[in-house]
Amino acid sequence: MLCLTDVRKSFGKTVAVDGLSLEVRRGEVMGLLGPNGAGKTTTIGMAVGLLHPDSGSVTLGSTDNGGAGKVGTPADPAMRTMVGVAPQEVALYDEMSARENLVLFSRLHGLTGAEARARTTELLTEVGLSDRAHHKVHGFSGGMKRRLNLACALVAHPKLVLLDEPTAGVDPQSRHAIFDIVAKLKADGVTVLFSTHYMEEASRLCDRVAIVDHGRLLALGTVEELIEAHGGPSIVAIRREGEEAETRIETSTPLDEVSSAMGESGASIAELRIEKPDLEAVFLHLTGKEHRD
Ligand SMILES: Nc1ncnc2c1ncn2[C@@H]1O[C@H](COP(=O)(O)OP(=O)(O)O)[C@@H](O)[C@H]1O
Ligand SMILES: [Mg+2]
């Protein structure tokens, strides 16, 4: 549905995207995971045609059976109508109500007045803002603004949805609401690419995760594949009766360690725990531990 081939983009001397190739398959949810400044927003900007790559190519659509049946560049109006985007910087009119914002976005997408009103009602329910429909956006919490921003991306029933940090700065309730919306999009066969630096949402939601840094693709795969390839060893933590501190054993075969510990002195074990590497371990392994602001 989205194919980036050796895409590069610089701003002055800053290389934001540095030869990135990435293919998002029809119907999949892909997480674009990377630290601040990794090039996620620039990549999404190029995917929707807001930014033009210095070199490389971007194509949208798919020709396979049941797909959109067309391919084109983001500049192609037929492709643009297929894509919905929720930008990182929430793009809403503060002095307008939730409903007015959505009706406006719907009209901008070419819906008639009646269609726009109907779609707005539907989306307000979907993102849980029906009871705030007539409230001005400027009084909204971060989470409510994010949900409305997401709803705006969905007005024209896009086949490909790009969400740039859809859960940045939101409370856990809104984050779950946003997860649920993405899960529903997936169930409806919509292709989703979302950027994030939250590991948990990437782990839970994505069919595949692309880890990027310094504008380059560092790794791509399912969460299990990434952990297998880059997660490093597990830790078996054992505390024996009468001991204060636990012993921590680094191992790639934790079950073997557990069974040998049980065999030796199973009766004296007070606590036993296996800590498996997670996506965060993969992320830190690939992108380093120093701070990015
Ligand atoms: N319009 C711009 N002008 C100058 N530098 C930019 C601009 N947009 C992004 N950058 C720089 O490009 C790099 C990648 O930024 P961005 O794509 O926003 O990363 P991310 O979304 O992963 O945080 C950063 O170093 C950022 O400062
Ligand atoms: Mg960004």
pLDDT reading at 69 higher than 80:
no
Q: 143-174, pLDDT tens digit by residue?
A: 999 999 999 999 999 999 999 999 998 998 89
Full strand arrangement of the beta sheet holding 247-251: 247-251, 234-240, 269-275
CB of 14 closer than 6 angstroms to any ligand 1 atom: yes
Q: What is the pLDDT of residue 97?
A: 97
Q: 263-292, pLDDT tens digit by residue?
A: 876 668 889 999 999 999 999 999 987 777
Q: What is the pLDDT of residue 52?
A: 96
- Looking from the CA of residue 164, the nearest atom of ligand 1 is 21
Per the CB < 8 A criterion, the answer to whether 227 and 282 are in contact is yes
Q: 74-113, pLDDT tens digit by residue?
A: 988 888 889 999 999 998 999 999 999 999 999 998 999 9
pLDDT reading at 65 higher than 70:
no
DSSP-derived pairing of the beta strands 70-72 and 234-240:
unpaired
CB of 40 closer than 6 angstroms to any ligand 1 atom: yes
* 153/48 Cα distance (integer angstroms): 12
Measured by CA distance, the residue closest to atom 6 of ligand 1 is 11
**pLDDT band of 42, cuts 50, 70, 90:** very high
The 3-state DSSP class for residue 62 equals strand
DSSP-derived pairing of the beta strands 2-11 and 208-213:
unpaired
State in Å: Cα 12 to ligand 1 middle.
11
Measured by CA distance, the residue closest to atom 27 of ligand 1 is 37
Per the CB < 8 A criterion, the answer to whether 59 and 70 are in contact is no
Tokens of 48: 């929707």
State in Å: Cα 43 to ligand 2 middle.
9
Q: Please state the pTM of the whole predicted model.
A: 0.90
pLDDT reading at 142 higher than 80:
yes
Q: How far is CA 70 from CA 50, 62, 76, 78, 153, in A?
A: 21, 6, 11, 9, 21
Q: What is the rounded average pLDDT of the residues 241-256?
A: 91
State in Å: Cα 51 to ligand 1 middle.
12
CB of 9 closer than 6 angstroms to any ligand 1 atom: no
State in Å: Cα 195 to ligand 2 middle.
8
Beta strand spans in the chain (E): 2-11, 14-24, 29-33, 55-62, 70-72, 83-86, 160-164, 191-196, 208-213, 216-221, 234-240, 247-251, 269-275
Where residue 157 falls (left for φ over 0; alpha for ψ -120 to 50; beta otherwise) is left
Q: What is the rounded average pLDDT of the residues 39-45?
A: 97
pLDDT above 90 covers a percentage of the chain that reads: 76
Of 9, 11, 54, the one to substitute when testing ligand 1's pocket (max ligand atoms within 8 A of C-beta) is 11
Measured by CA distance, the residue closest to atom 7 of ligand 1 is 11
Q: How far is CA 137 from CA 165, 170, 239, 268, in A?
A: 19, 15, 54, 61
Q: What is the pLDDT of residue 275?
A: 92
pLDDT above 70 covers a percentage of the chain that reads: 97
Average pLDDT of the chain is 92
pLDDT reading at 204 higher than 70:
yes
Altogether, the residues listed in the chain come to a count of: 293
Q: What is the rounded average pLDDT of the residues 122-128?
A: 96
CB of 35 closer than 6 angstroms to any ligand 1 atom: no
Q: What is the pLDDT of residue 267?
A: 64
State in Å: Cα 252 to ligand 1 middle.
38
CB of 41 closer than 6 angstroms to any ligand 1 atom: yes
CB of 19 closer than 6 angstroms to any ligand 1 atom: no
Per the CB < 8 A criterion, the answer to whether 82 and 123 are in contact is no
